Amino acid sequence: MLLNQLEELFSGACDELAKLTNLKELEDWRVRYLGRKSSLIQALRALADLPLEERRSAGARANEIKKALEASLEEKQKELERGLSSSLRHGSLDVTLPGGKIPLGRLHLTTQTINEICNIFVGMGFQIVEGPEVEREHYNFEALNMPEDHPARDMFATLWVDYQTETGEKPMLLRTHTSPVQVRVMERTSPPIRIIAPGRVYRYEATDATHEWMFHQVEGLAVDKNITLADLKGTLFEFARRLFGVDRKCRFRCDYFPFVEPGVEVAIDCLACGGSGCRLCSNSGWIEILGAGMVHPDVLRGVGIDPDVYSGFAFGMGVERIPMLRYGIEDIRLFYSNDIRFLGQF
């Protein structure tokens, strides 16, 4: 019978209320017996399923119990507050004691790494610039020596934005690298140019321990007269020494990127084994940290810079890869899991 259940509920609530000693316990009691999901509220909602006569008697008793519990709650609250006030007056509670420490926030590991990278290049005379994350196809591909039918586009799994203007303009996309920022700067700035472009980039690919659909890059560009591959090597070697330590060794090997010629892959000796070979470096002794190269003449020509007068170099790196190498982090997804236990270590 519902009436019996209500009486048992009332009796148990009153017994429990009498034993409460602080306002926190009182609030928990209120939620348990008078909250929206309490047993009493559930009983009131069940009245509609009872016969008419039983519904009347049970409904009346349920409302009486609800009012009685609310009155008892109010009285208990006053009693506890009076006790707290008395404790304060008689000094049993020392309000001069220091409170509990409030946990301080800190910069995310990715942000710390971006700041460190940027500070190194700013110290070498580079300027920090940013650009739009929703980008035009021209800046993301065509201006970087990748026309519509270029096979290098297959290197970038692209997230397209369904956007079409009345003039029939091509759809936009989430940028796959921060290189479009370099193109925009070269369009509106005459050499000499020396910039770095940090920011988020996006790739349409499955997420696993080494791949994310969104991650961060820092790319750099220098354009001036008489810039050579030796300038590129010197800049990146100094960057590696400042970021990973003065004893770091660097290796440059040929690689292909459509917007530079020649292109190079830059690696450092393994942080774990010092170059002797281990699991981290696949027993090669070297770990790739970035790609780079001399800016392709067609890219310079496309933004109105004469490649017969000016030359330049460009480079780019994945930000998350740096702390993964430094601290032995094996899963890139940890960066975006918002797990305080992980983030608090840095």
pLDDT at 32 over 90: no
The pLDDT tens digits of the residues spanning 280-328 come to 677 788 888 899 999 999 999 999 999 999 999 999 999 998 988 888 8
Specify the range with the lowest mean pLDDT, choosing from 75-79, 106-110, 210-214, 263-267.
75-79
Between residues 338 and 1, the one the model is more confident about:
338
CA distance 328 to 286: 15
User: Taking residues 220-225, what's their average pLDDT?
Assistant: 95
Selection from 54, 53, 10, 51 nearest residue 33 by Cα: 10
Between residues 272 and 338, the one the model is more confident about:
338
| pLDDT level of residue 87 (50, 70, 90 thresholds) | low
Between residues 64 and 87, the one the model is more confident about:
64
pLDDT at 221 over 90: yes
The pLDDT tens digits of the residues spanning 244-288 come to 888 888 889 999 888 999 999 998 888 777 777 777 677 788 888
- What is residue 169's three-state secondary structure? coil
Given a contact cutoff of 8 angstroms between Cβ atoms, the answer to whether 251 and 266 are in contact is yes
Specify the range with the lowest mean pLDDT, choosing from 9-13, 182-186, 227-231, 315-319.
9-13
Given a contact cutoff of 8 angstroms between Cβ atoms, the answer to whether 335 and 110 are in contact is yes
pLDDT at 126 over 90: yes
Q: What percent of the chain has pLDDT over 70?
A: 88
Other Cβ atoms less than 10 A from the Cβ of 310: the count is: 20
**Residue spans per domain, the chain:** 2-89, 109-343
Between residues 320 and 210, the one the model is more confident about:
320
pLDDT computed for residue 53 by the predictor:
67
User: Taking residues 234-244, what's their average pLDDT?
Assistant: 91
| pLDDT level of residue 48 (50, 70, 90 thresholds) | low
Q: What percent of the chain has pLDDT over 90?
A: 35
Answer whether CATH 3.10.310.10 is correct for domain 109-343: no
- Give the chain's largest Cα–Cα span: 100
Strand blocks (E) in the chain: 127-128, 134-136, 159-161, 172-174, 193-202, 214-224, 250-255, 260-269, 286-295, 311-318
